A and B are shown apart, each in its own frame.
Chain A
Amino acid sequence: MGRFIVQRLLQAAVLVVLVATVVFFLGRLTGNPVDMILPEDATDADRAALIEALGLDRPLHEQYAIFAFNAVQGDLGTSIRYHEPVMVTFLSRLPNTILLATPSMIIAVLLAVPLGVFSALRRGRMLDRVSGTIAVLGIATPNFWLGIMLIFLFSVQLGWLPSGRMGGPDHYVLPAITLGTFLVAGFMRLIRSSMLEILDSEFVKMARIKGLSEFRVIWKHCLRNALIPVLTLWGVFMAGLVTGAIVTETVFAWPGIGRLTYEAVIFRDFPLLQGVIIMAAVLIVVINLLVDVLYAYVDPRIRFG
């Protein structure tokens, strides 16, 4: 177990370095932050002075060495745009995204579980197809468009809910639905296929022979096992969540990580972009590792090594 965790941690470190390196070099190909800072009619001399002040005139490998040296010590640098440590900026926005992602995940699971279970039970029949259609609707509608339509309907026309921004519980409804429906289809497919597999297994036959009620067999024993792959594939959905968050946070004026990262790209705020990506990667890796460890406890069949 210990060896497994160490091994995974090492792999994770390599992964983070890989991601950081790609972002470092790709980011620097996209332009220069001084062009976004200086006024439209700044001269080449003004520009050169600012580039020097920001240390962007040094050779690329030197910049990379400085960045790597500092990053290893936990210093991700200072945001060019916000003039504060990248870590501070990241941590001030992270809670907002978590606050939005949590209800979105809950909505997704609440929708996906019954759809997945019913569609597995009625495989190939009408209900299966209807469930599939409902689940797919979430990914079939572009996220931003769904968000704008929801705002138009529920805020402008009906006046039931606010159009956006953080605030009381009512502010969470529309963005959480927009982001949540995006994940339903993936969850539902997973639950459906693992339910199908489990329904075929000896274990279910045994439970039935033992005389357990059909309800208990399906909703307790099968579902619990069917949810395991959802857990393990959590990482796959994280990327989807981040993608969805960029768009959802833009539409609903939500001051989270997604919007921050997007603006870092547009503004060429290299330290911020690198920092956010690295932090996000670390976060995902750590969560995945926790899930794996948890999984090992839940399902002893998994062997490490």
Chain B
Amino acid sequence: MTYKNMLARLVVSAALGIAAAPTLAQDNEGTLVVAIESLAAQNFDPILEGRPGHAHYHAPLYDALVGFDLKEGGIGPGIAERWQISEDGESWTFYLRDGLKFHNGEALTAEDVKFSIERIMSEESITAQAASFRRTIKKIEVVDDLTVRFDTDGIQVYFPTLFSRAIFHDGTIMPKDYFEEVGADEFRRNPVGSGPWKFVRSVPGDFVEYAAVEQDHWRGKPKFNRLVIMQVPEQSTRMAMIRTGEAAIASITPEAIGEVRSAGLKLVSVPATAQAIYQFYGLFRDEVADSPVTDVRVREALSLAIDRKAIIEHIMEGEARMPFPFATFGYSLDMDVDRWRQWSQEALRYDPDRARELLAEAGYKDGFTLSFANTALPGTPWMVDVGLVIADFWEQVGINVELENYEWGAFRSLTQGDQPELVGRVSMYRTAGRPIATTRYHAAFHPEGAHRLLGIPGKCDEVCQKYTELNEAIEVERDDEKRAALTDQMIELTTDSWMAVPILEAMGYWAVNPELVGAFDPIPGRHELGDVFERMPRPEQKPWE
């Protein structure tokens, strides 16, 4: 919208009252209907939702403190335009945009930021980083209306990334005055945010409806008047809805790509949203000391036996890529992207002969029996198929694979504690597209992380100790170049261990009816479209090629 338009509308609004404004707003019209497989808890309180909720249906309504780099993926300006670490490294200052308003007309200030993050840190909160915030944030101070300072526990170089939906979703800003006035229950029923879409209503298990904001918005002014996000669990039904025009955009899995192409629909593949991997739990434990997979040659052979390109072409319908090392992507920060792209071509090649050679060297000329726990994480059901294919590739080099499929909830509980059910087996897993590798490596390899693949406290061998040192050094290194060098060392150490091995770099798949929505670009790495709806044109504004 131009300034002239806005001025004209201001004058008219003033003359006719606010009610006249929407009827004159000719620059947005129509309803954008989006069908996704799950609306999760369909709760609008940011402290009570997990990731899918935030990325799909909180994002239209709420802004986050830190935003996206829309072109490359990763973080960029959000409610805060810029941020800075202090001299001593133990505090971060965020500088907010001027003139931001919540949907109820109240101004968004540093007070709201302090209130929101404190609420996200509260005991009541179940968001991803709530626990780590409680540990790392010592104090939040409002410097002035547009400046807020966080005192951290020690140096936290990746601190700002925690507030962006590019990585986590713990930077959602809520209106302090409104919340305190109406209370938590009313806030959950009638949420107010500062995003480009206002909340209209939510019917549980069915849909959520939004209306475009009237004023201009820094994330972009919606081209549609209304937005409806609905839950349609069955993919065949979502595809039918796209074909009949009941929905404009639907989330799909690779198996529907053939139909998208043959039915004249458009396919939008969001680059680098996840990596399918397999990993080995608890190989450091004594009870599996004799297991073939404790031999690093055997683990490398397993990787060489997989024809990744064939999987990408056939199972993923060509809509996937050769992966970078574990949990890294083309947009990853602090690493030598070209070096690791080359590494991937060489180290992750398909070489069944070399695989057999390595197996023979390790003393398993006639193969061995490998127990494989196959599973699919939420949102990526195709992982089961990929698991079935790699099992077949392993069989082809003479390994006898005992495959067992786990429903995700059942698998997830096995990764807790001593992980007895998974020790000595190979397990299917996934890692989401995030630009900071170190956080994810901590979860996978650190003796106190979630997966503890290298060791546990008191049982941490040389590689495990070396990794722990590197990890700790990276987290406090403020010099970008030195941090990148350390990160590359960490990646090298773990890739050489063949403990968590990437299979392919997946995309986020959407079927689009080109007659209902115009051409748009998703944000690399962010599968969900919650931060893209406002920039989607109507079909006549920007037709698909």
Listed in ascending order, the chain A residues whose CB lies under 8 Å from chain B are 30-32, 35-47, 49-50, 53, 81-83, 89, 92-93, 144, 148, 151-152, 155-156, 159, 162-166, 250-253, 255-256, 259-260, 266-268
Contacts and interface: CB of A to CB of B under 8 A. Distances in A.
Interface stretch (B332-340, B442-450, B458-466): B442-450
Interface stretch (B81-89, B407-415, B496-504): B407-415
Given A156-B244, A166-B206, 13 more contacts: A41-B450, A43-B443, A83-B48, A92-B204, A148-B234, A148-B237, A164-B240, A250-B234, A253-B232, A255-B231, A256-B205, A259-B205, A259-B233
Interface in B126-181: 126, 128, 131-132, 168
B97 interface: no
Contacts of B243: 156
Interface string B223-267: 000000011111011001101101000000000000000000000
B416 interface: yes
A20 to B, nearest CB: 22
A45 B131 contact: yes
B123 interface: yes
B296 to A, nearest CB: 24
Contacts of A163: 237, 240-241, 244, 246
Contacts, number: 127
A253 B237 contact: yes
A152 to B, nearest CB: 7
A174 to B, nearest CB: 10
Interface residues of B, number: 52
A38 to B, nearest CB: 7
Interface string B431-471: 11000000110111000111100000000000000000000
Given A148-B234, A253-B231, A30 B41 contact: no
Contacts of B234: 144, 148, 250-251, 253
Contact of B42 (A45, A82, A162): A82
A32 B417 CA distance: 13
Instruction: Name the residue in A83, A164, A166 with the highest tally of chain B Cβ atoms < 10 Å from its Cβ.
Output: A164
B43 interface: yes
Nearest to A89: B204
Nearest to B206: A255
Contacts of B35: 253
B50 interface: yes
Contacts of A162: 244, 246
A256 B203 CA distance: 12
A35 B236 contact: no
A165 B440 CA distance: 39
Contacts of A148: 234, 236-237
Contacts of A152: 236, 240
Interface of B: 35, 40-43, 45, 48, 50-51, 123, 126, 128, 131-132, 168, 188, 203-206, 230-234, 236-237, 240-241, 243-244, 246, 377, 407, 409-410, 412-413, 416-417, 430-432, 439-440, 442-444, 448-451
A42 B448 CA distance: 11
A300 to B, nearest CB: 45
Contact of A260 (B43, B205, B232, B410): B205
Nearest to B377: A40
Nearest to B240: A163
A81 B409 CA distance: 14
A43 B123 contact: no
B409 A39 contact: no
B204 A255 contact: yes
Contacts of A166: 206
A250 B412 contact: no
Contacts of A268: 409
A151 B236 contact: yes
Nearest to B432: A40
A170 to B, nearest CB: 12
Contacts of A53: 123
Contacts of B188: 83
Nearest to A255: B205
Contacts of B126: 37-38, 50
Contacts of B377: 40
28 contacts: A30-B409, A31-B412, A31-B413, A32-B413, A35-B409, A35-B412, A39-B168, A41-B442, A41-B450, A43-B448, A47-B416, A81-B40, A81-B41, A83-B41, A83-B45, A89-B204, A159-B244, A162-B244, A163-B237, A163-B244, A164-B237, A165-B206, A251-B234, A253-B206, A253-B232, A253-B233, A253-B237, A255-B203
Contacts of B236: 148, 151-152, 251
Contacts of A46: 131-132
Contacts of B42: 82
Contacts of A42: 128, 131, 450
Given A162-B244, A164-B241, A255-B203, A250 B233 contact: yes
